[in-house]
Amino acid sequence: MKNKQIATLLAFTLGMFGVHRFYLQQKKLGWWYLAFFWTLIPLIIGWIDGIVFLFMSYAVFNRKYSLRHVFKKKYLDDEDIIDFNTDEKLEKELLNKLLELNDKDKVESFLKNSKEKGEYLPRKVYSKALMIISGKSNIYGERLDIQ
Protein backbone atom coordinates (compact mmCIF):
# COMPACT_ATOMS: atom_id res chain seq x y z
CA MET A 1 0.00 0.00 0.00
CA LYS A 2 1.48 3.31 -1.06
CA ASN A 3 1.43 6.18 1.42
CA LYS A 4 0.13 9.55 0.23
CA GLN A 5 2.30 11.58 2.63
CA ILE A 6 5.48 9.80 1.54
CA ALA A 7 4.65 10.31 -2.14
CA THR A 8 3.95 14.01 -1.49
CA LEU A 9 7.17 14.49 0.45
CA LEU A 10 9.20 12.70 -2.23
CA ALA A 11 7.58 14.80 -4.96
CA PHE A 12 8.48 18.05 -3.20
CA THR A 13 12.02 17.07 -2.20
CA LEU A 14 13.31 14.59 -4.79
CA GLY A 15 10.72 15.07 -7.52
CA MET A 16 13.39 16.48 -9.80
CA PHE A 17 14.90 12.98 -10.00
CA GLY A 18 11.57 11.19 -10.29
CA VAL A 19 11.94 9.37 -6.98
CA HIS A 20 8.22 9.77 -6.24
CA ARG A 21 7.39 8.05 -9.54
CA PHE A 22 9.69 5.15 -8.73
CA TYR A 23 8.01 4.92 -5.30
CA LEU A 24 4.59 4.76 -7.01
CA GLN A 25 5.85 1.95 -9.30
CA GLN A 26 5.75 4.21 -12.38
CA LYS A 27 9.24 3.37 -13.58
CA LYS A 28 8.92 4.75 -17.12
CA LEU A 29 7.94 8.18 -15.80
CA GLY A 30 10.69 7.96 -13.19
CA TRP A 31 13.31 7.32 -15.87
CA TRP A 32 12.04 10.29 -17.91
CA TYR A 33 12.36 12.57 -14.88
CA LEU A 34 15.86 11.23 -14.25
CA ALA A 35 16.93 11.61 -17.88
CA PHE A 36 15.97 15.29 -18.01
CA PHE A 37 16.65 16.42 -14.43
CA TRP A 38 19.40 18.75 -15.67
CA THR A 39 16.79 20.90 -17.50
CA LEU A 40 14.94 21.68 -14.22
CA ILE A 41 11.64 20.91 -15.95
CA PRO A 42 11.21 17.74 -13.84
CA LEU A 43 11.67 19.93 -10.74
CA ILE A 44 8.65 22.02 -11.70
CA ILE A 45 6.63 18.97 -12.68
CA GLY A 46 7.63 17.29 -9.40
CA TRP A 47 6.30 20.27 -7.43
CA ILE A 48 3.09 20.16 -9.43
CA ASP A 49 2.82 16.42 -8.67
CA GLY A 50 3.37 17.20 -4.98
CA ILE A 51 0.56 19.78 -5.00
CA VAL A 52 -1.74 17.34 -6.79
CA PHE A 53 -0.96 14.59 -4.24
CA LEU A 54 -1.45 17.04 -1.38
CA PHE A 55 -4.99 17.94 -2.42
CA MET A 56 -5.98 14.48 -3.69
CA SER A 57 -8.33 12.56 -1.39
CA TYR A 58 -7.08 9.34 0.17
CA ALA A 59 -9.73 7.35 -1.69
CA VAL A 60 -8.62 8.63 -5.09
CA PHE A 61 -4.91 8.25 -4.22
CA ASN A 62 -5.33 4.65 -3.05
CA ARG A 63 -7.54 3.72 -5.98
CA LYS A 64 -5.06 5.17 -8.48
CA TYR A 65 -1.67 4.27 -6.99
CA SER A 66 -2.18 1.42 -4.51
CA LEU A 67 -4.91 -0.54 -6.25
CA ARG A 68 -3.93 0.65 -9.75
CA HIS A 69 -7.58 1.00 -10.62
CA VAL A 70 -8.62 3.52 -13.23
CA PHE A 71 -12.13 4.60 -12.39
CA LYS A 72 -14.52 4.60 -15.30
CA LYS A 73 -17.74 6.43 -14.61
CA LYS A 74 -20.95 4.73 -15.55
CA TYR A 75 -23.16 7.38 -13.97
CA LEU A 76 -22.43 11.04 -13.28
CA ASP A 77 -22.29 10.66 -9.49
CA ASP A 78 -20.29 7.40 -9.29
CA GLU A 79 -17.06 9.04 -8.14
CA ASP A 80 -18.91 11.14 -5.55
CA ILE A 81 -20.46 8.01 -4.07
CA ILE A 82 -17.09 6.26 -3.77
CA ASP A 83 -15.40 9.30 -2.23
CA PHE A 84 -18.33 9.76 0.14
CA ASN A 85 -18.19 6.13 1.27
CA THR A 86 -14.53 6.56 2.25
CA ASP A 87 -14.85 9.83 4.22
CA GLU A 88 -14.01 8.65 7.75
CA LYS A 89 -14.89 11.92 9.52
CA LEU A 90 -18.37 12.06 8.01
CA GLU A 91 -18.85 8.35 8.68
CA LYS A 92 -18.05 8.85 12.38
CA GLU A 93 -20.43 11.82 12.61
CA LEU A 94 -23.27 9.84 11.07
CA LEU A 95 -22.57 6.80 13.25
CA ASN A 96 -22.70 9.00 16.36
CA LYS A 97 -25.99 10.47 15.14
CA LEU A 98 -27.39 6.94 14.70
CA LEU A 99 -26.26 5.97 18.19
CA GLU A 100 -28.00 9.06 19.58
CA LEU A 101 -31.24 8.05 17.85
CA ASN A 102 -30.98 4.36 18.86
CA ASP A 103 -34.70 3.87 18.34
CA LYS A 104 -36.05 1.71 15.53
CA ASP A 105 -38.67 4.25 14.39
CA LYS A 106 -36.29 7.22 14.56
CA VAL A 107 -33.65 5.33 12.56
CA GLU A 108 -36.21 4.33 9.91
CA SER A 109 -37.29 7.96 9.71
CA PHE A 110 -33.64 9.03 9.37
CA LEU A 111 -33.12 6.57 6.47
CA LYS A 112 -36.30 7.74 4.72
CA ASN A 113 -35.34 11.40 5.08
CA SER A 114 -31.87 10.71 3.72
CA LYS A 115 -33.33 8.85 0.75
CA GLU A 116 -35.90 11.59 0.03
CA LYS A 117 -33.20 14.27 0.13
CA GLY A 118 -31.03 12.19 -2.21
CA GLU A 119 -28.24 11.95 0.37
CA TYR A 120 -25.82 9.06 0.27
CA LEU A 121 -24.98 7.11 3.40
CA PRO A 122 -21.62 5.41 3.86
CA ARG A 123 -21.91 1.62 3.85
CA LYS A 124 -20.95 1.26 7.51
CA VAL A 125 -23.64 3.76 8.56
CA TYR A 126 -26.28 2.07 6.43
CA SER A 127 -25.29 -1.34 7.84
CA LYS A 128 -25.48 -0.03 11.42
CA ALA A 129 -28.91 1.46 10.70
CA LEU A 130 -30.12 -1.90 9.37
CA MET A 131 -28.77 -3.61 12.47
CA ILE A 132 -30.71 -1.22 14.73
CA ILE A 133 -33.91 -1.63 12.68
CA SER A 134 -33.70 -5.42 12.52
CA GLY A 135 -32.65 -5.77 16.15
CA LYS A 136 -29.90 -8.21 15.16
CA SER A 137 -26.36 -7.84 16.44
CA ASN A 138 -24.91 -8.82 13.07
CA ILE A 139 -26.69 -8.62 9.71
CA TYR A 140 -23.91 -10.50 7.88
CA GLY A 141 -24.36 -13.95 9.37
CA GLU A 142 -21.06 -15.67 10.08
CA ARG A 143 -18.77 -12.65 9.49
CA LEU A 144 -17.10 -11.45 12.67
CA ASP A 145 -15.18 -8.48 11.26
CA ILE A 146 -18.18 -6.13 11.15
CA GLN A 147 -18.73 -4.00 14.24
> Who wins on pLDDT, 46 or 121?
46
Phi, psi of 53 (to 5 degrees): -65, -40
pLDDT, tens digit, for every residue of 18-71? 999 999 989 999 999 999 989 989 999 999 999 999 998 877 787 788 776 555
Dihedral-angle region of residue 141 (phi above 0 means left; psi in -120 to 50 means alpha; beta otherwise): left
Which pLDDT score, from 0 to 100, does residue 82 have? 59
pLDDT at residue 145, rounded to an integer:
46
- 109-124 burial, b if ≥16 CB within 10 A, otherwise e? ebbeebeeeeebbbeb
- C-alpha 28/C-alpha 32 separation (Å) is 6
Identify which of 117, 144, 103, 118 has the alpha carbon closest to the alpha carbon of residue 129: 103
Ramachandran angles phi, psi of 15, nearest 5°: -60, -25
pLDDT of residue 144: 45
* pTM, 2 dp: 0.50
Q: Is 69 left (phi over 0), alpha (psi -120 to 50) or beta?
A: beta
Beta carbons within 8 Å of 143's beta carbon, 6+ residues apart: none
